[in-house]
């Protein structure tokens, strides 16, 4: 399967996918990354892609007159690589109608909280502020809401009394990277169906 990975930051989830594919081999893993896209330049996520010899593209909201046109450009840039699956690995933008029309049901996101708790851009901070004793990460398909799509898998992380946002996020990301690598490989190799809210990996 062909994957396009979208990033906005440090790209450690992307790196985990790159490492897993390099270690297992494309055939055994079931997927290869064919391009990496971002909504900004100068980020470590893009540098990781370049070091791996992968094509990259950048699609910035501010370069487009409307959000809709940005969405169309992102869709076109992604579609140029003909992906079977698109993975949002810390991509901090909500995609629009056109992107979802094309990639709905095959667009996977990872979120650093146990959805449906703490959706949005500050999942780690919000869980901490709420006083949650466990949190974690969720790999899910993207729908037209914010972190509301069908859940594929979740991982649990305990909150410690001494945690601040960054310490907790680092522990979540360790679990998140393993979960994402596992889920993407399994759905690529085995196929899946989405029955309402329920995702069944075959």
Which is catalytic among the residues 64, 111, 140, 169? 111
Q: How far is the CB of 123 from ligand GRF (least distance, A)?
A: 7
Query: Do the annotations mark residue 67 as ligand-binding?
Result: yes
The answer to whether 43 touches 97, Cβ cutoff 8 Å, is no
Query: Do the annotations mark residue 78 as ligand-binding?
Result: no
Minimum CB distance to ligand GRF smaller for 40 or for 79: 40
d(CA 19, CA 23): 6
Query: Do the annotations mark residue 11 as ligand-binding?
Result: yes
Which residue of this chain has its Cβ atom nearest to ligand GRF in the complex?
90
Minimum CB distance to ligand GRF smaller for 71 or for 176: 176
Q: Which residues bind ligand GRF (CB under 6 A)?
A: 7, 9-14, 45, 89-90, 110-112, 173, 176
d(CA 76, CA 29): 27
Q: Is residue 140 among the annotated active site residues?
A: no
105 burial (CB, 10 Å; 0-12 / 13-18 / 19+) is middle
SS3 72: helix
Annotated binding-site residues read: 11-13, 67, 92-95, 109
Residue positions annotated with a catalytic role = 111
């Amino acid at each position: 399967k062909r994957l396009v990975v979208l990033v906005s930051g440090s790209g450690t989830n992307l790196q985990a996918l790159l490492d897993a594919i390099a270690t297992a081999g494309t055939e055994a893993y079931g997927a290869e990354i064919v391009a990496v896209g971002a909504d900004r330049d100068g980020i470590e996520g893009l540098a990781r892609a370049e070091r791996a010899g992968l094509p990259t593209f950048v699609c910035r909201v501010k370069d487009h007159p409307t959000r809709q046109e940005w969405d169309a450009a992102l869709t076109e840039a992604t579609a140029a690589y003909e992906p079977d699956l698109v993975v949002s690995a810390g991509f901090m933008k909500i995609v629009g109608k056109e992107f979802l029309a094309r990639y709905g049901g095959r667009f996977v996101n990872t979120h650093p909280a146990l959805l449906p708790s703490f959706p949005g851009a500050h999942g780690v901070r919000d869980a901490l502020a709420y006083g949650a004793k466990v949190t974690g990460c969720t790999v899910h398909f993207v729908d037209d809401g914010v972190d509301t799509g069908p859940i594929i898998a979740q991982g649990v992380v305990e909150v410690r009394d001494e945690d601040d946002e960054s310490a907790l996020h680092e522990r979540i990301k360790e679990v998140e990277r393993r979960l994402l690598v596992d889920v993407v490989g399994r759905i690529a190799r085995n196929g899946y169906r989405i029955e309402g809210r329920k995702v069944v990996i075959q």
